[in-house]
A and B are shown apart, each in its own frame.
Chain A
Amino acid sequence: MAKALHRLANPARFLRIASPLLPWIAAGAAVCSGAGLWFGLVDSPPDYQQGDAARIMYVHVPAAWNALAGYAGLAIASAVALVWRHPLALVAARCIAPVGACFTVIAIATGSIWGHPMWGTWWVWDARLTSVVVLLFLYLGYIALLQAFDEQETGERAATVLALIGAVNLPVIKFSVDWWNTLHQPASILRFGGPSIDPAMLLPLMLMAGGFTLLFAYLVIIRMQTELARRRVMALRRAALAVSQPNDA
């Protein structure tokens, strides 16, 4: 099992599998988001209470889900990198971080835009909002730590440890609305007793969630291709340097 995973995680093999998939993922993202936008903005009813402002949810919730899922991916990749020392895991973690940070910003910004008319405030420091801000800083801290050292490996090791410690925040975000009194409403979809959302609104939400997830995957794979190419160029350059200046090596 571990061996099979190891073979799959080989960078060249990853590129052979991922590169042909990329246009399909892009097409899927476009189709899902397009259909989601149509159903979300045109062909779904306004909420009985929030009116049209509820439509912000079709962007807010998928962005927030992906921000969380992205961090889970970052933490798993970091664990694999720490235990099995697999180079592809570090590449994946490095490439997930900025995308996840962007999705977190989208979730916070859209939530704030929704909060102003609905709650009557742009921002409050309740447990859910605060823990999501912590998530954003974990992403930013991870990116900063990667680049904080002259030795790339030192930075990677420090960032990996941060990513793993930060994983504590994931259940805190998910359950903050259940554990503490928050201004943010409890979960509507992933909860006991099934979704508390009308099917006509669930459809665009799920389409957008699918679209956002595929977009996330697309961006991460493109970044990984670029990062692997960059590493190859660096390795080739080092090799060329070693050939031209054999005495310095």
Chain B
Amino acid sequence: MTRKHQRLIGLLAAGVVLGVAATLVFQALDDTLVFFYSPTQAAERQFRPGEAIRLGGLVKAESVQHSDDSLKVWFVVTDGANDVTVTYDGILPDLFRDEQGVVAEGSFLPDGTFAATEVLARHDENYMPKEVAEALREQGLFVGEDGEKSY
């Protein structure tokens, strides 16, 4: 076996060890690496009221209610299985609308609603011109802003 082969085998062995180590580390970190929890995940974990988390999902169609005299807004975030009512007092991002993916930062109130301190819009991986989106929607092939579940 030449030195070259020794080095090659050493490199491959180190690569395998590194790969296994990285996999284990990321497995262990799995929960802390998510940017947000879906309503179902949040329900499973039973966060204490006041605990700062991010909640992500789709804005339920026709659930958005604006206050008449302030910026206050109520809406429902859903992942299809579970719903959470979110209250927010502030300016919403441009992309915020029905069926849009959003991430709300804040905490649960004792009554189970979520008080958001910040709301971010989440874009999906679909890019298309307006006409195509409308045509698809007419054919019923495209169910909204986030047709394919992408979170």
Please give the residue numbers on chain A whose beta carbons come within 8 Å of chain B beta carbons, in ascending order: 45-50, 54, 57, 79, 82-84, 117-121, 124-127, 164-165, 168, 172, 179-183, 185-188, 191, 196-198, 200-201
Contacts and interface: CB of A to CB of B under 8 A. Distances in A.
A127 B31 CA distance: 12
Interface stretch (B18-26, B59-67, B70-78, B107-115): B18-26
Contacts of B121: 118-120
Q: State the majority secondary structure of interface residues on B.
A: mixed
Interface in B24-46: 26, 30, 33-38
A117 B132 contact: no
Interface residues of B, number: 44
A47 B127 contact: yes
Given A48-B132, A83-B8, A197-B126, A120 B22 contact: no
B63 to A, nearest CB: 19
Contact of A180 (B7, B33, B123, B145): B33
A57 B123 CA distance: 13
B28 to A, nearest CB: 13
B79 to A, nearest CB: 11
Contacts, number: 117
Interface string B46-86: 00000000001000000000000000000000000000000
Interface centre among A46, A83, A121, A179 (most CB of B within 10 A): A83
Contacts of B145: 49
Contact of A186 (B11, B26, B36, B150): B150
Contact of A198 (B8, B118, B120, B127): B127
B129 A46 contact: yes
Contacts of A82: 7, 11
Interface of B: 4, 7-8, 11, 14-15, 18-19, 22, 26, 30, 33-38, 56, 92-95, 103, 118-134, 145, 148, 150-151
A41 B31 CA distance: 41
Q: Shortest 8 CB-CB distances between A and B: which pairs? A: A120-B93, A45-B129, A48-B133, A126-B35, A198-B128, A197-B127, A48-B130, A181-B34
Contacts of A48: 128-130, 132-134
Contacts of B30: 180
B4 A181 contact: no
B20 to A, nearest CB: 11
Nearest to B133: A48
Contacts of A201: 127-129
A45 B130 contact: yes
Nearest to A176: B33
A200 B131 CA distance: 12
Contact of B127 (A120, A164, A183, A188): A188
A118 B125 contact: no
Contacts of B151: 181
B120 A183 contact: yes
Contacts of A165: 18
A239 B88 CA distance: 73
B35 A185 contact: no
A47 B120 CA distance: 19
Given A118-B94, A180-B35, A168 B7 contact: no
A3 B100 CA distance: 57
Given A48-B129, A185-B150, A119 B35 contact: no
